[in-house]
């Protein structure tokens, strides 16, 4: 029996590489993206283009989505003629956008009513993780469905964990984003401190990135920022969206998270400066400008 046909919606910074890995692995691929030009190289490699989520879902055994915002997720899945309306009973959907845990639960419930398993499976690892197929994938949903699609997830990532029922993947991703955002404050503060002390920040990185201070951001994003490279592996505007979800869910749980509160304040300031399309390492600019209080 041949490989299952995968429908892939969202071929942006992350999705393009992820979909490409599936093609390389030999999966028949249906694709859809808001801007067709970004998906055209995949079509040239053999992917079939579709104009709407519903028609793509109807033609696919497994549907994967990684789009921009929760409202994009909701529209793709729950609108009339969307994925849930059109997907065949017995099929599986994997929603990989960083989105609302509550929305993930609602989509999973709608899918279950139709005999469709929906996993929430957001990712971490940035553009490099997408290109190198080393993403961390954190999943919520039915364990049997997770086991069925694990070989597909393994084409795109390395650290793949089922965290619990529907919504658990999104809650786990919020933990990831909170740690990243607060950690970037520490990275930026270390770099401006090094400069103020008369040190070469790049040389300082050589000493501290392999010690207890080490982190992915310190090793990968700090060198980019110091070199003036603010191209996005992950965009500021998307991190602001994620942190807003984290703040909302933390409030629902009665949590006080001052590091998260400060991080979203600074990233909102950066976005208001017109840096929404920049990478999250652009936070260093605020520190260099002396605007962090």
User: 35-67 pLDDT, tens per residue?
Assistant: 999 999 999 999 999 999 999 999 999 999 999
Instruction: Reply yes or no on whether the pLDDT at 178 is more than 90.
Output: yes
Mean pLDDT confidence for 208-236: 94
d(CA 234, CA 252) in angstroms, rounded, equals 26
CA 12-234-138 angle, to 5 degrees, is: 85
d(CA 34, CA 140) in angstroms, rounded, equals 26
In order of their start, the domains of the chain are 6-165 (3.40.50.720), 171-288 (1.10.1040.10)
173 labelled catalytic: yes
Residue 234 has a pLDDT of 86
Residue 212 has a pLDDT of 97
Instruction: Reply yes or no on whether the pLDDT at 1 is more than 70.
Output: no
Report pLDDT digits (tens) over 160-171: 999 999 999 999
Catalytic residue of the set 3, 173, 235, 262 = 173
Residue 144 has a pLDDT of 97
pTM of the model: 0.91
Q: 234, 220 in Cβ contact below 8 A?
A: no
Residue 128 has a pLDDT of 86
Q: Is 170 exposed, middle or buried (0-12, 13-18, 19+ CB in 10 A)?
A: buried
d(CA 18, CA 47) in angstroms, rounded, equals 13
Residue 127 has a pLDDT of 83
Q: Which of 138, 139, 141, 137 lies closest to 165 in space, CA to CA?
A: 141
For residue 277, the surrounding DSSP H or E stretch is none
Report pLDDT digits (tens) over 126-163: 888 999 999 999 999 999 999 999 999 999 999 999 99
Q: What is the mean pLDDT of the chain?
A: 96
Mean pLDDT confidence for 114-132: 94
Mean pLDDT confidence for 254-280: 97
d(CA 98, CA 245) in angstroms, rounded, equals 9
Q: 162 by DSSP, 3-state: which?
A: strand
């Amino acid at each position: 029996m041949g490989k299952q046909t995968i429908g892939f919606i969202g071929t942006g910074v992350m999705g393009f590489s992820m979909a490409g890995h599936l093609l390389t692995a030999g999966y028949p691929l249906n694709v859809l993206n808001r801007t067709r030009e970004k998906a055209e190289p995949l079509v040239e490699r053999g992917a079939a283009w579709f104009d709407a989520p519903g028609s793509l879902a109807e033609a696919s055994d497994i549907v994967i989505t990684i789009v921009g915002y929760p409202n994009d997720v909701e529209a793709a899945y729950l609108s009339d003629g969307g994925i849930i309306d059109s997907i065949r009973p017995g099929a599986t959907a994997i929603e990989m956008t960083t989105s609302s845990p509550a929305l993930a639960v609602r989509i999973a419930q709608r899918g279950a009513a139709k005999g469709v398993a929906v996993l929430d499976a957001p990712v971490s690892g940035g553009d490099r993780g997408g290109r190198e197929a080393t993403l961390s994938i954190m999943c919520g949903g039915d364990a049997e469905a997770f086991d069925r699609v694990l070989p597909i997830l393994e084409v795109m990532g390395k650290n793949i964990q089922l965290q619990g029922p529907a919504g658990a993947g999104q809650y786990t991703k919020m933990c990831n984003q909170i740690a990243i955002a607060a950690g970037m404050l520490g990275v930026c503060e270390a770099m401006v401190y090094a400069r103020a002390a008369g040190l070469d920040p790049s040389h300082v990185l050589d000493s501290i990135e392999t010690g207890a201070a080490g982190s992915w951001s310190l090793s990968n994003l700090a060198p980019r920022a110091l070199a003036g490279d603010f191209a996005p592996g992950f965009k500021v505007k998307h991190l602001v969206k994620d942190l807003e979800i984290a703040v909302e869910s933390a409030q629902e749980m009665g949590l006080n998270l001052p590091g998260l509160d400060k991080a979203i304040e600074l990233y909102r300031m950066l976005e208001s400066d017109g840096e929404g399309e920049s990478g999250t390492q652009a936070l260093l600019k605020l520190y260099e400008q002396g605007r962090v209080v």
